[in-house]
Structure 1
Amino acid sequence: MIKTILFDVDGVMLSEERYFDASALTVWELLYSPQYLGLKSDAFTPAPQETDIRRIREEVFARDEVLDLIKARGINSNWDMVYLTFSYHLIRLVEELKSQMGEKAASLLGGQIDREKLAQLRVWKEAYAPGFAPDYAAFTPDFAKGTAQKAEMLLYLNQIAKERCGIETDTFSRNSVLWELCQETFQEWYLGDERVAASIGRDTMQPGKKGFLADEIPIVPPAELIELLRTLKEKGYTLGIGTGRPTIETHVPLNELKVLEWFDPDRIVTASHVLQAEEEYPEHAPLSKPHPFSYVKGMLGLSAPNSGVVNIPLPIANGEEVLIVGDSMADFLAARSIGCQFAATLTGLSGQEARSKFEEVKADYILDDVRGLLSILK
């Protein structure tokens, strides 16, 4: 008998579209801004129009083919999506430079990649590869050659660097300076100038970003979502959240929609809690989905020490008492590792096309949207 219901946010309650827009803009900035690689400095602005955002996302993610592959491989974090995409094009730039400069260019991939190294790449690009342009569509076939799943995808960048640049390196990983740079730049785009300092401890590198946090798109009408949550609470279910969003990006929009109050405050687990746990227990990183940490923490409560969360024996004994509601394979994989039930909502990036995948893996329930919970929870 189900007692606890843990919800993902993106693709379940809020549309993922703005997150994907922010991800595309982050990659675009890292590639084109003079603060980073500066491939075409006059192409960048911190305040693009909506038509520009649509064009940039279509280009950067190759009509969402890149996103489809990344999510199908179990990556749920937008920070990881940005890191994977930008790092791939950075490797391709080094490959081009190596053809002109030799091993000196490839050696840059031998250690941590920070702002100083990006500045060096920018100088070399202007001198030796001024016509370089990213081949956005090449990302998918290059990654399709391998079978890396989940966090292994980030490590697979090292294999691509070896194949394309002929260098042995382990610089590409979740625990890297470049990953942190990608994460902070994404936060600038999503939160905007006014809110970003509270998240990353500094102002935006390039002011003028208004942010998307105040421009969220609910998947179902807020009044209907509130009615759903109210009904579930009245039926005695404990409601929690396990999301890849940081805390501010979870609380602000859900509070604006008047739905945050229906969740147990001790069971609202965000990426901020994941990052804190990774700092405490780096040997267990990465802990982002599809790792089950978010949902185990939501099941046990924020008051539970992280030591108990990362070391809990899985699958749990009372798995039938927990239902996870998510839209992605990352959510499904987390649910299965915990041993609990899973309800897939067809409101993520792939929409109804995801049905066949969830049928293939035998999800417990497949719902057109989150409102379908009432049909399975009598």
Structure 2
Amino acid sequence: MIKTILFDVDGVMLSEERYFDASALTVWELLHSPLYLGLDSDVFTPSPKEAEIRRVRELVFANDEVLNFIKSRGINSNWDMVYLAVSYQIIRLCGRLKADLGQQVTDLLTGQINRAAIARLAEWAKTYAPDFTIEYAKFTTDFARGNAQKAEMLLYLNQIARERCGIVTNIFSRNSDLWKLCQETFQEWYLGDERVAASIGRETVQPGKKGFLHDEIPIVSPEEMIQLFRTLKEKGYTIGIGTGRPTIETHVPLEELKVLEWFDPNRVVTASHVLEAEEESPAHAPLSKPHPFSYVKGLLGLDTPNLDVLSYSLPIPNGDEVLVVGDSPADLLAARAMGCRFAATLTGLSGQAARSKFEEAKADYILDDVRDLLSILES
């Protein structure tokens, strides 16, 4: 009998579209802005209109082909998505520059790629590869040659660097300066100039970003979500959240929709809590989904020390009493690792097309949307 229900946010309560838009804009800025690599002739602006956002999204993710591929390999973090896309194009550019610059490119790809390294690479590109063309769709082609899944995809960038540049390196990982640069730049786009300093400790590098935090799209009406969560509370279920969103990006929109108040505050686990745990125990990183940390923490409570969460025996006892509700393969993998039940919602990026994949993966339940949850609990 189910007693505790842990919900993902994106693809379950809120549309992922704005997160994917922010991801595409981050890649676009880092590759095209004169403050970063300044590649190609695409004109960058920090305040694009909706039509320009749509164009950038189609360009960067190759009509979502790249995005779907990354998601299918178990990557659930938008920060990781941005890092993969940017790093891949940097490797392609270095492959082009290697013949002219030799050891300088080797040094760049075997050291940390920080802002100074980005500036160096931008100057080299202007001098030695002014006609270099970013080919976003090639990402899928190169990664499809390997079988890397989840966090291994970030490490697979090292293999691609070896194949394309002939350089042996291990700099590509989640614990890199470039990953942090991608993460902070994404936060600039999503939170906007007004809120970003509270999240990353500095102002935007390129001001003019209004952010998407107040432009969220609920998947079902707020009234229907409120009714669902009120009913679950009245029936005695403990309900929590395990999301890849940072805390501010979870609390603000769900508070505005009057949804957050129905959840146990001690069981609302966000990417901010995951990052804290990774900093405390770097040997256990990465802890983002499909790692079950966020859901185990949601089950045990925020007041449970991270080391106790990490050492908690899996699969959990009485796994049939816990249900994870998510939209992605990463959520399903986390639930499987945890040893609990999983309900897939068909309101993520792939929509109804995801049904066959969840059937093949033997999800316990498949819901058209989160409103169908009551029907399976009552059956």
TM norm structure 1: 0.99
Q: Is the 8 A contact 1:278 1:285 kept in 2?
A: yes
Conserved in 1, the CA contact under 8 Å of 2:341 and 2:364? Answer: yes
Where does residue 322 of structure 1 map in the other structure?
322
Partner of 1:188: 188
State the partner residue of 1:115: 115
Instruction: Name the residue aligned to 1:298.
Output: 298
Is the contact made by 1:34 and 1:41 (CA closer than 8 Å) also made in structure 2?
A: no
CA distance in 2, matches of 1:166, 1:324: 44
Deviations 1:160-206 (A, max 9, x none): 00000000000000000100000000000000000000000000000
Contact 1:274 1:293 in 2 (8 A): yes
Match runs of 1:1-378 below 5 Å: 1-40=1-40, 43-378=43-378
Please give the alpha-carbon distance, in whole angstroms, between the structure 1 residues aligned to 2:133 and 2:103: 21
Structure 1 position 235, deviation (Å) = 0.6
> C-alpha distance in 2, partners of 1:364/1:344?
8
Counterpart Cα distance in 2 of 1:375 and 1:86? 43
Q: Distance in 2 between matches of 1:246 and 1:138?
A: 30
Question: Structure 2 CA distance, aligned partners of 1:246 and 1:143?
Answer: 28
SS at structure 2 position matched to 1:104: helix
Contact kept? 1:95, 1:106, Cα under 8 Å: no
The amino acid of 2:14's aligned partner reads L
SS in structure 1 at match of 2:5: strand
Alignment deviations for residues 53-88 of structure 1 (CA, whole Å, 9 cap, x no partner)? 000010100110111111111100000000000000
Amino acid across the alignment from 1:98: K
CA distance in 2, matches of 1:103, 1:93: 15
Measure, in 1, the Cα distance between the counterparts of 2:306 and 2:274. Answer: 10
Moved over 4 A (4+): none
How many aligned positions are there?
Answer: 378
Secondary structure class of the residue paired with 2:207: coil
Distance 1:105 1:43 in 2: 27
CA offset digits 1:320-357 (Å, max 9, x no partner): 11000000000000000000000000000000010000
Kept after mapping to 2: 8 A contact 1:33/1:41:
no
Letter in 2 for 1:365: Y
Matches of 2:82 and 2:264, distance apart in 1: 31
- Between the aligned partners of 1:306 and 1:106, the Cα distance in structure 2 is 39
- Amino acid across the alignment from 1:306: N
Cα distance in 1 between the residues matched to 2:245 and 2:27: 18
Amino acid aligned to 2:375: S
Partner-residue secondary structure (3-state), 1:5: strand
Q: Per-residue deviation at 1:207? A: 0.4
In 2, are the aligned partners of 1:33 and 1:40 still within 8 Å (CA)? no
Are 1:327 and 1:348, in contact at CA under 8 Å, matched by a contact in 2?
Answer: yes
1:4-57 per-residue CA deviation (whole Å, 9 max, x = no partner) reads 000000000000000000000000000011111111476111001111100001
Residue 99 of structure 1 deviates from its aligned partner by: 3.0
- Give me the whole-angstrom Cα distance separating, in 1, the residues matched to 2:238 and 2:104: 58
In structure 1, the residue corresponding to 2:324 is in which secondary structure?
Answer: strand
SS in 1 for 2:323: strand
AA matched with 1:200: I
CA distance in structure 2 between the aligned counterparts of 1:354 and 1:273, rounded to whole angstroms: 29
Q: Secondary structure at the match of 1:168?
A: coil
Aligned sequence identity (%): 76
2:160 and 2:272 mapped to 1: Cα distance?
30
Amino acid corresponding to residue 84 of structure 2 in structure 1: L
Moved more, 20-29 or 39-48: 39-48
Equivalents in 2 of 1:293, 1:194: separation in Å?
A: 31
Q: Quick one: which amino acid aligns to residue 234 of structure 1? A: E
d(CA) in 2 for partners of 1:354, 1:240:
24
Per the alignment, in what secondary structure is the counterpart of residue 211 of structure 1? Answer: coil
Distance 1:292-1:260 versus aligned 2 partners, 3 A rule:
same
Tell me, in whole angstroms, the C-alpha distance in 2 between the residues paired with 1:201 and 1:101: 36
SS for the counterpart of 1:194 is coil
| Root-mean-square deviation (Å) | 0.8
**Aligned-partner residue type, residue 120 of structure 1:** R
Q: SS in structure 2 opposite 1:75? A: coil
Distance in 2, Cα, partners of 1:233 & 1:220:
19
1:100 Cα deviation after fit: 2.9
